[in-house]
Amino acid sequence: MAHDSATDDGLTEDSVGTGTEPDVRGVESRVGAWNTLSQIRGDPTALAGLAIISVVTLVALIASVDYYLLDYWLAETFWVHPARDPQEVEILLPPVGLENDFGQGTWEHPLGTDHRGRDIAARLFYGTRIAMLVGFVSTVIGLVGGTLVGSVSGYYGGWVDDVLMRAVETLYAIPFLVLVIAFMAAFGRNLTYAMIGVGIASIPTFARLLRSRVVSVREEEYVAAARAAGVRTRWIILRHVVPNSFAPVLVQATLQIGLAILIVAGLSFLGFGAQPPTPSWGQMLNQSRDSMLPNPWFSIWPGLAILFTVVGFNLLGDGLRDALDPHIEEE
Amino acid sequence: MARETTNQLSSRQPLLEVRNLKTQFFTAEGDVRAVDGISFDVYPGEIVGLVGESGAGKSVAVRSIMRLIEEPGSIVGGEIRFKGDLLVGFEEHATQPTKREAVLSDEVMRRRIRGREIAIIFQDPMESLNPVYSVGSQLEEIIALNRDVDEPTAREIAVEMLGEVGIPEPDQRFSEYPHQFSGGMRQRVLIAMALACEPSLIIADEPTTALDVTVQAQILRLVTDIQQRYDTSFIWVTHDMGVIAEICDRVNVMYLGEIVEQATVDDLFHDTKHPYTESLLGALPRPDTTVDELTPIEGVMPEAIDPPPGCRFHPRCPDAREVCANRRPDIREDPDRQGPPHWTACFKNDAFDVGYWESEPLDGKRTSRGFDAGGGERR
């Protein structure tokens, strides 16, 4: 390290440091966002994950801007409107270069058309927006809720811990999908409630994960030092405890985004998520059920999109886990 | 070194008064009396040593002063007064804090005392800094918290403090992370953090134990230097008699939750009264005398969960007699003494009239935990 040569009163302290110092430095030097990034750069699978996520995010951003600010201006001007039925209906066309009972695939609809003649490529493109929105929003809800519950529970311990953890375990005991569907049955069937439902249902995972780390980090001497210096408890939790406990939660969050996308696609498939005509991948899968035989591509495309995105998040999650856990490299 | 004459000290108001402090830990195995009725004073501008073996209750004692004892432990008795404020106050023999005078609330304790009036330097410089923030931002946090300054000023003070404690190029090192500092440098940072708010009392909980001797010497020099410049009082916790001799003005020797001897550093070394202190000194290598073997203290310190009856040191004491096993000495001042006060909790002290000298020596009756006559010839 660059500063090992720091001298003090003419003595090289480094040469006479405590015995454990080199090891400790080896581990601690792997702290920090910059370091994590450079770790990932050397990991091809994580890089692949990052690349996939970047592409998907970019697509989602363009689609969002077009949807929220321009009201499908891009699509209507240069492309095909994803939500409106077209004038001349050419239903269930195959992708370009293939042929089926309904006709020949053309470059006008490179991935084919759906059962109402809408362009599948356009619907996939705009469906990305829903998938990413759902993944991020529900994960952030779970992350914030779980962090709150987990850190308070782990830091205070005692009856606070007991009450919070029993509550969380109760939530954990209910099957994920059942919980989300029950939530939507109570509040309403739309995308917002799907996101909130998935977010709440993922709180237990985050809370338990964070708590287990907080319980050990709260015993660290820098926490005692902060307390002795008169730092407010909530500030100690926020500034000293949570950042030092956060690595596994971050990994889980990355995996959770993929999982949330999958779950909400499943909900949409069941008719609980985004409602037509809003294009979403799960809903496309649902609509493709009746025409799977004449045109299998109708269901293959959204399936591939989901697979691609979820794999991307899982690869990055695994890479992050390796980068953030100092013990893995030692093995 | 700021060695005041002790006569002057007695006429001044103590900064910190600890009276009969008791702290216990309630564990499944039983109640551990980590600190069992200790009393001592700290006067402005002096360095008071708290010395004893591991497990003697030194750290618990100083953490009790800051009210940092956590579950399953709690302070169960005694009184701590700091600059007239009551930090801990129990009525005599009561189990609840006293009502006669307000004990500082937790909020006031946090805002006014911790960090601002009393700061603490912990033992392990490797663990006492948060690895995810730069050293400077941690220092800045403490300054911004306890002094009413804006951020740029806090940063300025932080850089200045780093320079003050002898960190070269404080500007650059401000934004570096703890892992980029060596042990001695980190300890300097911790000293800077303790000094940041110019407290009247700094508690140093074995701050040099994790450092090697050369770095320790530098840190001790820095501390005595700072002590003179800022006129800060220190409570210096250590198990190293050498460190005590180096920097302390007065010393409290702790054994199994009790203070067994209390004297000025000169008296403690040259007119040692308590056999435990003698044993500690006997185990210390000294350049001025040539010995073939150092004298270890026989046996191990018993658990504070089940302290021995009578004098707590008697199973290991080379001078123990019958009376020591049956009666427990409190700490008393030597009545015939001239000069600075010297307190001991030993029946050899003339203040006790319990027939120590007529009592039978215990040598033959010791158990395995006790003392082996062959190796115990002192001096």
DSSP string computed for A22-58: HHHHHHHTT-SHHHHHHHHHT-HHHHHHHHHHHHHHH
Chain B residues whose CB is inside 8 A of the A21 CB are 126, 182-183
Query: Of B110, B185, B215, which is closest to A230 when you measure between CB atoms?
Result: B110
Tens of pLDDT, residues B251-267: 999 999 899 999 999 88
User: Whole-prediction pTM value?
Assistant: 0.77
Pairing of β B73-82 and β B258-264: unpaired
Give the C-alpha separation, B186 to B173, whole Å. Answer: 11
* CB contact set of A21 (below 8 Å; sequence gap of 6+): A14, B126, B182, B183
CA angle A93/A262/A189 to nearest 5° reads 85
Residue B248: closest CA among B229, B272, B277, B269 = B269
Q: Give the residues across from B121 on adjacent strands.
A: B204
A146 Cα to chain B: minimum distance (Å): 21
Chain B residues whose CB is inside 8 A of the A240 CB are 130
Per-residue tens of pLDDT for chain A, all 331 residues = 344 433 334 333 343 333 333 434 444 444 556 667 777 777 888 899 999 999 999 988 988 888 777 777 777 777 777 777 776 667 777 777 777 777 777 777 777 777 777 888 888 888 898 899 999 999 999 999 999 999 999 999 889 999 999 999 999 999 888 888 888 889 988 888 989 999 999 999 999 999 999 999 988 889 988 888 888 899 999 999 998 898 889 999 999 999 999 988 888 888 888 877 788 888 888 888 888 887 888 888 989 999 999 999 999 998 888 887 765 544 3
**Is B371 a residue whose pLDDT tops 70?**
no
Tokens of A29: 């030097």
DSSP string computed for A52-113: HHHHHHHHHHHHHIIIIISSSHHHHHHS--SSSPPSS--TTPPPTT-EETTEE--TTSTT-B
* CB contact set of A270 (below 8 Å; sequence gap of 6+): A181, A286
Query: Of B120, B127, B131, which is closest to A228 when you measure between CB atoms?
Result: B120
Q: Which residue has 């917002």 as its token pair?
A: A192
State whether residue B366 is helix, strand or coil.
coil
pLDDT score of A211: 94
**Chain B: residue nearest A229 by CA?**
B115
- Tell me the pLDDT band of B227, cut-offs 50, 70 and 90: confident
Q: Give the residues across from B23 on adjacent strands.
A: B35, B75
Cβ contact, residue pair B71, A240, below 8 Å = no
Question: Measured between CB atoms, does B161 come within 8 Å of chain A?
Answer: no
Residues B36-65 have a mean pLDDT of: 90
Mutate to test the interface with B, among A215, A219, A221 (most CBs of B within 10 A): A221
B362 Cα to chain A: minimum distance (Å): 43
Per DSSP, chain A holds a count of helices (H) and strands (E) of 16, 4
Residue A241, CB-side half-sphere exposure with 13 Å CA sphere: 31
Q: Which positions 32-71 of B are in contact with A (Cβ < 8 Å)?
A: 66, 68, 71
pLDDT score of A34: 67
Cβ contact, residue pair B168, A6, below 8 Å = yes
Cβ contact, residue pair A8, B185, below 8 Å = yes
A57 Cα to chain B: minimum distance (Å): 29
Cβ contact, residue pair B214, A16, below 8 Å = yes
Cβ–Cβ < 8 Å for B313, B255: yes
Chain B residues whose CB is inside 8 A of the A17 CB are 182-184, 212
Give the C-alpha separation, B120 to B191, whole Å. Answer: 9
Chain A residues touching chain B at CB-CB below 8 Å: 1-4, 6-9, 11, 13-14, 16-18, 20-21, 24-25, 28-29, 31-32, 157-158, 220-222, 224-232, 239-240, 243-244
pLDDT score of B363: 61
Q: What b/e sequence results for B302-330 when a residue is b if at least 16 CB atoms lie within 10 Å of its CB, and e otherwise?
A: bebeebbebbbbbbbbbbbbbbbbebbbe
Max intra-chain CA distance, chain B: 71
Specify the range with the lowest mean pLDDT, choosing from B252-256, B272-276, B293-297: B293-297
Tens of pLDDT, residues A56-102: 999 889 888 887 777 777 777 777 777 777 766 677 777 777 777 77
The CA–CA distances, whole Å, from A156 to A211, B71, B219 equal: 10, 10, 36
Backbone angles phi, psi at A55, to 5 degrees: -60, -50
B168 Cα to chain A: minimum distance (Å): 8
Residues B287-307 have a mean pLDDT of: 76
First to last CA, chain A: 23
Mutate to test the interface with A, among B62, B114, B121, B179 (most CBs of A within 10 A): B179
Residue B196: closest CA among B131, B124, B119, B113 = B119
Chain A residues whose CB is inside 8 A of the B185 CB are 6, 8, 13
pLDDT score of A330: 42
Q: How many CB pairs under 8 A join A and B?
A: 120
Give the C-alpha separation, B20 to B374, whole Å. Answer: 38
Chain B residues whose CB is inside 8 A of the A16 CB are 212, 214-215
**Chain A: residue nearest B123 by CA?**
A221
**Is B4 a residue whose pLDDT tops 60?**
no
Cβ–Cβ < 8 Å for A316, A254: yes
Residue B152, CB-side half-sphere exposure with 13 Å CA sphere: 0
The CA–CA distances, whole Å, from A216 to A154, A155, A219, A221, B28 equal: 9, 9, 6, 11, 21
A36-324 placed in CATH 1.10.3720.10: yes
Residue B257: exposure state from Cβ atoms within 10 A (0-12, 13-18, ≥19): buried
pLDDT score of B99: 56
Per-chain mean pLDDT for chain B: 82
Q: Give the residues across from B81 on adjacent strands.
A: B17, B86
Query: Of B120, B184, B210, which is closest to A13 when you measure between CB atoms?
Result: B184
**Is B376 a residue whose pLDDT tops 60?**
no
Chain A residues whose CB is inside 8 A of the B123 CB are 221
Chain A residues whose CB is inside 8 A of the B116 CB are 230
Q: Give the residues across from B119 on adjacent strands.
A: B202
Query: Of A221, A240, A244, which is closest to B124 when you measure between CB atoms?
Result: A221
Cβ contact, residue pair B132, A244, below 8 Å = yes
Chain B residues whose CB is inside 8 A of the A7 CB are 168
Cβ contact, residue pair B146, A1, below 8 Å = no
B127 Cα to chain A: minimum distance (Å): 5
State whether residue B76 is helix, strand or coil.
strand
A14 Cα to chain B: minimum distance (Å): 6
Torsion angle (degrees, nearest 10) of CA B53, B56, B60, B63? -50
Query: Of B113, B129, B215, which is closest to A13 when you measure between CB atoms?
Result: B215
Q: Give the residues across from B89 on adjacent strands.
A: B79
ipTM above 0.90, yes or no: no
